[in-house]
Structure 1
Amino acid sequence: MSNRRDHRTSKSALFDSFDSIEEGGIRASSSREIDEHSNNSAINSLQDRVSFLKRLTGDIHKEVESHNRMLDRIGNEMDTSRGIMSGTMARFKMVFEKKSSRSMCKLAAYFVVSFFIIYYSLRFFRYFMNG
């Protein structure tokens, strides 16, 4: 009986030590699995963030390119408008110079005609007054 007890004790000791090793192994492997799982989830999170930032920078690049094209078109249109405006201003300048010289000629002509009218009307009144 003592042999049986020894056998049972040694058997239970063997299984107890095996269970404790197995539990430690489970604990060690489960902590590794938890660490790997948290690392994988962190890597996945980083990958998601990187892909989001890549899409975002791609969208920003497209937006910048479209704004650059729009600014180039506006610059070209402004250059065209500047050319048209300078031509128009040159034409206005010619018209105003001609018009101002015409106006000056008309003003001088009115002045000369007015002078002769006043001169002859004064002579005419003097002639009738002196008699």
Structure 2
Amino acid sequence: MLSVDCDLKLMDRNTRAALFDGIEEGGIRASSSYSHEIDEQENDRAITGLQDRVSMLKRLSGDINEEVEGHSRMLDRMGNDMDTSRGVLSGTMDKFKMVFEKKSSRSMFTLVASFVVIFLVIYYLTR
């Protein structure tokens, strides 16, 4: 009976050892091939995630580049338009200076008054 009890205890220990072979203190110890599979799957998921992020950043930087180039062209056109209008205004001011220098004060008053009247008429018509 004693040998049967020892055999049962020994078999019970072997069965327990077989069942709980992977368990250690604080967690389960995975077999090395299973661990490698998990690591490779995690790496594949991480690589896929990084590829998605890189492609998104590439599209975003392309969109930013297009936007910057568009704004740069718009600013160049505005600069050219401002230069053109500055030239027109400067020519107009030169002509006004010549008119004011050559004309008498009465004709100057008539000219200024007519500009004010024309301005007020246009203002009230567009209102």
- Which category describes the TM-score, using the shorter chain as reference length? 0.5 to 0.7
* Distance (whole Å) between structure 1 residues aligned to residue 54 and residue 44 of structure 2: 15
Alignment match of 1:49 (pick from 46, 50, 59): 46
Which segments of structure 1 move beyond 3 Å, counting only runs of 4 or more?
Answer: 24-28, 106-110
Name the CA distance, whole Å, in 2 between partners of 1:84 and 1:107: 36
> Larger Cα Rg: Structure 1 or Structure 2?
1
Q: By how many angstroms is 1:107 displaced?
A: 6.2
Cα distance change on mapping 1:108 and 1:61 into 2, 3 Å:
same
Task: Give a deviation string over 1:77-126, Cα, whole Å, max 9, x none.
Answer: 1111111111111000001111122222236789xxxxxxxxxxxxxxxx
User: Per residue, is there more helix in 1 or in 2?
Assistant: 1
Asked if 1:65 is matched to 2:62, the reply is yes
Deviation, structure 1 residue 67 = 0.9
Aligned to 1:90: 87
1:118 matched to which residue of 2?
A: none
Q: How far does the alpha carbon of each residue in 1:2-59 deviate from its partner, in whole angstroms, 9 at most, with x for none?
A: xxxxxxxxxxxxxxxxxxxxxx99999xxxx711111111111111111111100100
Amino acid at match of 2:39: A
TM-score, structure 2 as length reference:
0.57
Alignment length (residue pairs): 104
* Uncovered stretches (5+) of structure 2, i.e. residues with no partner: 1-16, 22-29, 108-127
Q: d(CA) in 2 for partners of 1:50 and 1:107?
A: 85
Partner of 1:77: 74
Deviates more, 1:79-88 or 1:53-62: 79-88
RMSD: 3.7
Q: What's the % identity of the aligned pairs?
A: 8
TM-score by length of 1: 0.56
* Aligned-partner Cα distance in 2 for 1:73–1:41: 48
1:16-35 alignment to 2 at 5 Å? 34-35=31-32
1:106 to 103, 108, 111: 103
Gaps of 5+ in 1: 1-23, 111-131
